Amino acid sequence: MISPRHILMTADTVGGVWTYAVELARGLIANGVHVSLATMGAPLSREQRSDVQFNDVQVFESSYKLEWMENPWQDVDAAGEWLLDLNDRLQPDLIHLNNYAHGKLDWRAPVLMVGHSCVYSWWRAVHGTSPTIAWMEYRRRVREGLQGADMVVGVSRSMLRELERWYGGIRASCVIYNGQRPGAYEPGTKENFVFSTGRVWDAAKNIEALDLAAPFARWPIYVAGEAQHPDGGRRSLRNVFPLGTLSGKDIRPWFARAGIYALPAVYEPFGLSVLEAALSGCALVLGDIPSLREIWGDTALFVPPSDHEALALSINLLAANRRIRKTFGTRARERARNFTIDRMVHSYLGVYPQVRARFRAAKEERTSCVS
């Protein structure tokens, strides 16, 4: 089966999907695939523009709202027309969607869709209930999008299960874990502090638990991440040391120097920051949720996300014992080496022909029914 020569890929510029999309595009291009990247969510930042300064990638920029934002549907529909126009102009061999709502468009090309996260599983994890009726349109759009895709990829088995739970059966699916480039993150001289990073405004990251644990922790806790929500509102931190939003270049030394990385997440379908911390040799303290258990197994200490006292105790256990801390840091780094960009890219290159084959089979079946 032949891999596509030209892929049209969507990417949002607001969250971790950006890093994933850029690294995947870079890896695909290295394997002879041309990539057109269609961005949504917000204008590219200066750093993001720098991220895509490599050969054989075309970037088509927009500021259309994403489907999880407030009152997005007029923008989502307009973005769909824009994407179809790009499809007509570029004639790609395959569509790689990193969002859901556009899966039902009349692409006339094979569609692979990646499930990075979703509002319904996020809401259940954060609030303990189903979303309000205001999110019914989102659920309908996501369900239709998933059903319109020829193949759905989950960034973990846990994420795939959540998609099936909330939106119904998926015709074809597989799991491809995210990856990172070898050498992008390396251990440095470790220091006595705890580090964490993520969207501070996102309750799923549960930075609040770190803020509550900080007064009882032996080591200071530093947190990098955006506190301002894209739709308004701001989350304040009182007991940790907030670093604000750091660039990729600026954040690497924090990973390298941190003795402990803590992310007591209540919801984290994969956790790219955890991978970066593990590659940097940090001992990991993580929220005890299925996805993080699936990926990190016995290489981390797990705590109930709602128990900030247990979080402080786990941090203090590692802080007080250099040998245990080093053991967990080494385990995490060895595990992290399995999650490489090359492995991720070649997994997608193996799946793309299957997507194209499913698309052709469905097209032939429709033609047969019409005749």
pLDDT value, residue 15 = 77
> What is the tens place of the pLDDT at every residue in 152-208?
999 999 999 999 999 998 989 999 999 998 789 999 999 999 999 988 888 999 999
Tell me the CATH class for 191-336.
alpha beta
Q: What is the largest CA-CA distance in the chain?
A: 74
Vertex 39: Cα angle to 38 and 45 (nearest 5): 140
- The structure's pTM equals 0.93
d(CA 240, CA 72): 34
Q: Does domain 6-179+340-370 have CATH number 3.90.1150.10?
A: no
Q: Indicate the domain borders of the chain.
A: 6-179+340-370, 191-336
Residue 197 near residue 273, CB atoms below 8 Å: yes
Strand order in the sheet with 6-12: 57-61, 34-40, 6-12, 94-97, 111-115, 151-154, 173-175
pLDDT tens for the 371 residues of the chain, in order: 578 999 999 999 987 799 999 999 999 999 999 999 999 999 999 989 999 998 889 999 999 999 999 999 999 999 999 999 999 999 999 999 999 999 999 998 999 999 999 999 999 999 999 999 999 999 999 999 999 999 999 999 999 999 999 999 898 999 999 999 878 999 999 999 999 998 888 899 999 999 999 999 999 999 998 877 666 666 678 999 999 989 888 999 999 999 999 999 999 999 999 999 999 999 999 999 999 999 999 999 999 999 999 999 999 999 999 999 999 999 999 999 999 999 999 999 999 999 999 998 877 765 555 55
pLDDT value, residue 54 = 86
Residue whose tokens read 């999907």: 17
Copy the structure tokens of residue 232: 């308004």
d(CA 117, CA 70): 17
Residue 286 near residue 274, CB atoms below 8 Å: yes
Asked whether this chain's domains 6-179+340-370 and 191-336 adopt the same fold, the reply is: yes
Say whether 294 sits in a helix, a strand or coil. Answer: helix
d(CA 109, CA 83): 13
Copy the structure tokens of residue 179: 């990856």
**CA neighbor of 210 nearest in space, from 225, 199, 194:** 194
Residue whose tokens read 């007029």: 74
d(CA 261, CA 280): 10
d(CA 193, CA 191): 6
